[in-house]
Amino acid sequence: MNIKHHFGGSVYLKETHIPAGHILVQHKHIYDHLSFLASGTVELQVEGERQTISGPSGLVIEAGKHHGVKALTDTVWLCIHATDCTDSEDVDETLIQKADEPEMHSIVEAMR
């Protein structure tokens, strides 16, 4: 996957180019955030509920909900967060809630 990081005005945009068939592993945040499917088609899973979305399409991911995407076609997926972090090496540590090992294993299996 190709990831580009964009920072400006206390906003972080994570631009991910996902090849067809690849999965962005589920995770959760402590606050709501915006996501935008710029192009392609994905299967979005939020708290175990799946839906197919084709871009362009914007949505809100609610706080505390596990979410992930499986690219059904080559896809460009954008995640948009309010943050003062401007370091691409540290931004995921700042934004993503940690999951314990058993929880992460069940989440990954559910996405397959």
pLDDT in tens, 2-34: 989 999 999 989 999 999 999 987 778 788 889
Cα(4)–Cα(99) distance, integer angstroms: 24
**Do 91 and 5 meet the contact criterion of CB atoms below 8 Å apart?**
yes
Cα(39)–Cα(12) distance, integer angstroms: 19
Which two tokens mark 65? Answer: 């909900």
Residues 84-95 have a mean pLDDT of: 68
Domains and CATH numbers, the chain: 2-111 (2.60.120.10)
Give me the residue label for tokens 């460009």.
Answer: 76
Cα(19)–Cα(61) distance, integer angstroms: 22
Each residue of 38-75: pLDDT tens digit?
999 999 999 889 999 999 999 998 988 888 899 999 99
Cα(99)–Cα(39) distance, integer angstroms: 29
